């Protein structure tokens, strides 16, 4: 049933079967609870139910708060006791053009209309300001769908009195606000409703009868979009697209047809479709998604396909290239290992339904969009699935695929050295390890939410919480960036500790797995000791809280010279490092803050 929740889904099936689907999903044990407040400008009951299904599918168990009907404004600004007590971790504001309080009338003077736009936007700015101050949690906010009717006909789109033009202005202002506010994320219902078709999106019967601002059958699409944003906020977006070759990236079989026989380019409709798909894939690569090939082919033949003069993708666009005759699930496991990423951050694209089924069966955590075998539909399915949704285009994202290609070279290099220490020395590693500064808040929060393996407490932070902690003198925070001779690994490690008396209690210690076994954890600890001693502290207290995925660091404190204080039945443990006497640096390979 879970696959019924993947795009393209059957909205009517989900609406009809939602209770049975929920029953099945909620029985899973590895769910992560999140408190989600839905503040509605219209009825939200069905939206809540559908959102729950899509979140459960992604391993998130939502606990909901629903505002009173059309009380999204009042509950934030005036009577919010219940909401405050609920302590939301994410707030979704479901408003739409039924919540616009004032449209310009045709009698309005043109110069007054900007003021009407500002009035509408200001109402929302007050809500966003208050949420930032009071709850410091991420906000998911609908923009506006185009109007149901156009009083001025086509002129409605460009006359300053037109409602169509008015809504476009509001959406422009919302976009600008979302660019400025790092906790505000737009749910683009303007696009969703257009894609769905405004004629089907609007159901005035549902409005008059039940006060739903949209048709019931559009609700699964809306909820899917909100769930996609939630996943991106929690840093669960996918990192790598694994692609088949024949009839996926080009038409035909390279082994049979040869490079001159495959269909790519502008010569035939089919070739054009494959060209556009390659362009789409190239776009993903440029924004930081890794590409990998997993194809049943002779490697030499497979590579030759990219020498086609019309090929958009080139061999160097791929971080890993696996063309052989082994079963695909084995290749896929290797791809995840080589890239040093979890198998659940892979997406598998293949025109062959048997291969898709094999992967779903063998590696159920790999996302396998039901892309069919019609090349004209590939982009739709992958794009609308929202698997690669992101809340911000960070500099690190744009560079990420280079990191991973560098990693593959590094690994290759490793085999040429006598011992591992020699290899580490040869990397010429340079780190910057300093207290967290505002420019890194988003990246650090992203790391706290998606790092599961090297993470002793699995404590999650929002950017706003981090900001508060970084500015508080009772805390010591550190971020670590690591460069080596192959390139910049970016911001890869974070520590947060709270000072009480003469002790520093470690609330967070995490590191990205792409720099495992590089000695970066030792460099981080050394710097933490410097900071702590600088404030006259005598010891550092560390905690290990076991999770399903952090067994990697169960022995970290011991390795780093901490003494065990207590071990509990649930395998959690408390550790202490005495820093009142001389401390010997543990880092041997990385030059820090030079």
**Site residues, other proteins (CB under 8 A):** 12, 15-20, 23, 45-46, 49, 205-206, 208-210, 216-217
User: What pairs with residue 186 in β-bridges?
Assistant: 141
**Shortest distance (Å) from residue 94 CB to other proteins:** 16
> How far is the C-alpha of 316 from the C-alpha of 409, rounded, in Å?
12
Alpha helix positions (H), 197-268: 198-201, 204-210, 219-233, 254-257
Q: Which is nearer to other proteins, 18 or 459 (CB)?
A: 18
Residue 488, token pair as written in the block? 């910049």
Nearest to 460 by CA among 507, 409, 530, 519: 507
The dihedral built from the CA positions of residue 246, 251, 252 and 254, taken in this order, carries a sign that is negative
Q: Is 19 exposed, middle or buried (0-12, 13-18, 19+ CB in 10 A)?
A: exposed
Helix H or strand E segment including 293: strand 290-296
Tokens, residue 516: 């495992």
Nearer Cβ to other proteins (18/333): 18
Nearest-approach distance from CB 204 to other proteins, in angstroms:
9
Q: How far apart are the first and last CA of the chain?
A: 55
Positive/negative CA dihedral, 293, 299, 301, 306: positive
d(CA 25, CA 58): 10
- Both tokens of 378, joined, read 């590939």
189-196 and 219-233 helices cross at what angle (nearest 10)? Answer: 140
Of the pair 44, 275, the CB lying nearest other proteins is at 44
| CB nearer other proteins, residue 64 or residue 403 | 64
Which residue do the tokens 């890794």 mark? 290
For tokens 């990246």, name the residue.
443
CB of 24 to other proteins, least distance (A): 11
């Amino acid at each position: 049933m879970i696959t019924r929740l993947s795009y393209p889904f059957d909205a009517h099936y989900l609406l009809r079967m939602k209770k049975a689907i929920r029953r099945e999903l909620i029985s899973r044990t590895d769910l992560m609870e999140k408190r989600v407040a839905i503040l509605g400008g219209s009825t939200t009951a069905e939206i809540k139910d559908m959102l729950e299904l899509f979140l459960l599918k992604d391993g998130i168990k939502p606990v909901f708060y629903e505002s009173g009907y059309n009380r999204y404004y009042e509950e934030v600004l005036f009577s919010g006791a219940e909401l405050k007590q609920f302590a939301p971790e994410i707030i979704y504001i479901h408003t739409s053009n039924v919540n616009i309080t004032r449209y310009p009338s045709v009698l309005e003077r043109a110069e007054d209309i900007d003021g009407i736009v500002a009035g509408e936007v200001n109402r929302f700015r007050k809500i966003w300001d208050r949420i930032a101050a009071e709850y410091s949690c991420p906000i998911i906010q609908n923009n506006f769908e185009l109007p149901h009717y156009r009083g001025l006909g086509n002129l409605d789109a460009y006359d300053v009195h037109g409602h169509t033009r008015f809504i476009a202005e509001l959406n422009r202002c919302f976009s600008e606000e979302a660019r400025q506010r790092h906790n505000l994320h737009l749910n683009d219902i303007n696009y969703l409703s257009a894609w769905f078709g405004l004629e089907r999106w609007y159901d005035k019967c549902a409005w008059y009868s039940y006060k739903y601002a949209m048709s019931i059958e559009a609700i699964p699409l809306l909820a899917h979009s909100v769930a996609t944003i939630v996943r991106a906020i929690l840093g669960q977006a996918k990192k790598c697209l694994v692609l088949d070759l024949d009839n996926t990236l080009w038409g035909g079989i390279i082994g049979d047809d040869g490079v001159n026989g495959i269909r790519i380019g502008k010569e035939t409709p089919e070739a054009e479709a494959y060209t556009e798909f390659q362009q789409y894939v190239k776009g993903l690569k440029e924004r930081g998604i890794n590409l990998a090939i997993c194809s049943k082919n002779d490697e030499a033949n497979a590579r030759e396909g990219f020498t086609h003069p019309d090929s958009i993708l080139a061999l160097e666009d791929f971080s890993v290239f696996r063309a052989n005759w082994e079963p695909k699930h084995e290749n896929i496991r290797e791809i995840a290992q080589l890239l040093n990423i979890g198998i659940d951050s892979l997406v598998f694209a293949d025109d062959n339904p048997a291969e898709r089924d094999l992967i779903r069966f063998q590696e159920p955590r790999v996302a396998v969009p039901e892309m069919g075998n019609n090349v004209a539909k590939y982009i739709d399915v992958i794009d609308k699935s929202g698997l690669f949704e992101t809340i911000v285009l960070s500099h690190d994202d744009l560079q990420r695929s280079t990191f991973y290609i560098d990693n593959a070279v590094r690994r290759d290099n490793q085999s040429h050295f006598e011992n591992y220490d020699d290899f580490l020395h040869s990397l010429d590693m340079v780190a910057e390890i300093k207290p967290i500064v505002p420019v890194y808040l988003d990246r650090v929060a992203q790391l706290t939410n998606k790092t599961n393996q090297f993470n002793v407490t699995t404590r999650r932070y929002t950017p706003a919480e981090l900001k508060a902690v970084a500015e508080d003198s009772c805390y010591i925070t550190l971020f670590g960036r690591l460069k080596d001779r192959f390139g910049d690994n970016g911001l890869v490690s974070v520590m947060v500790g709270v000072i009480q008396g003469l002790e520093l209690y470690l609330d967070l210690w995490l590191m990205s797995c792409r720099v495992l076994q590089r000695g970066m954890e030792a460099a981080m600890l050394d710097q933490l000791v410097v900071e702590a001693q600088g404030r006259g502290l005598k010891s550092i207290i560390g905690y290990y809280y076991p999770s399903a995925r952090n067994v990697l660091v169960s022995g970290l404190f011991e390795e780093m010279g901490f003494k065990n204080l207590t071990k509990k039945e649930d395998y959690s443990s408390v550790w202490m490092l005495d820093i009142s006497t001389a401390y010997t640096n543990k880092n041997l390979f990385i030059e820090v803050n030079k």
